[in-house]
Amino acid sequence: MTKQEVSTDALIAQIVAGIEDVKGNNITILDLRELENTVTSYFIICNGNSNTQVNAIVNSVQRRVRKELHENAWHVEGTDQGEWVLMDYVNVVVHVFQKQIREYYDLEELWGDAKSTVIESTY
């Protein structure tokens, strides 16, 4: 495994842990590496029950990644509305939705050719 793969794996682990810390729902990881013309290697998709929880998930992920890996998101957008927040960590893009917005955009179907991993909630 290369250093980049190890750091991407560590980043994914910390992002998922950050989501779980504040009880984010329906965590799905889409592996986009085998697809052509993608802008990133992975999408991590989850949802919260309200704009407050969506923003709590975003804050939790940012805190955990910064503390454990000393990394910051390259770009974050959508926190003002808290319906769909995108966090760009370059190799990994995190999408935090409210449930109805996630269902409307249905990224899992849009990127249906990607390998999908569902993380089972432990709570």
pLDDT in tens, 47-62: 999 999 999 999 999 9
Q: Which CATH number fits the domain that encloses residue 77?
A: 3.30.460.10
Q: Give the number of domains in the chain.
A: 1
Length of the chain: 123
Question: What is the extent of the structural domain holding 94?
Answer: 3-119
Q: What is the DSSP letter of 121?
A: P
Distance of CA 64 to the CA centre of its chain: 13
Q: What is the pLDDT of residue 6?
A: 46
Task: Decide: 94 and 71 in contact? Cβ < 8 Å.
Answer: no
pLDDT of residue 91: 95
Q: What is the pLDDT of residues 10-44, one digit of tens each?
A: 999 999 999 999 999 999 999 999 999 999 999 99
Instruction: Please tell me the pTM assigned to this model.
Output: 0.92
Q: If pLDDT is split at 50, 70 and 90, which confidence band does 121 have?
A: confident
